[in-house]
Amino acid sequence: MEAVNLLQFQTKDLLLVVGSEAHGIPQEWLNDCNSSLTLPMLGDVESLNAAVAASIALYTLTQP
């Protein structure tokens, strides 16, 4: 599956699936995805809370 940076992601016909911090997204769901989305982060940050990551992604993807 292709991983795409959030700032370069195309939003046409988009369904955003967000997994839990502990378990991620079930493999059977990932098998149906065309690509995965990554959020660029500065410094030594390894991850974000799933709700925070989803909020940032949704806000960014809905901007003109």
Residue 7's pLDDT band (boundaries 50, 70, 90)? confident
Quick one: tokens of 37?
A: 């989305």
Closest CA to 33 of 64, 3, 5, 9: 3
**Does residue 6 have a pLDDT over 80?**
no
This prediction has a pTM of: 0.69
pLDDT in tens, 26-54: 999 999 988 888 888 888 887 788 898 89
Q: Give the rounded percent of residues in the chain with a pLDDT score beyond 90.
A: 9
- What residue numbers bound the domain in which 39 lies? 2-61
Phi, psi of 22 (to 5 degrees): -80, -40
**Which run of H or E residues covers position 59?**
helix 50-61
Number of folded domains that form the chain: 1
| 3-state SS, residue 7 | helix
Average pLDDT of the chain?
83
Give the domain CATH number at 47: 3.40.1280.10
Quick one: tokens of 36?
A: 């995965």
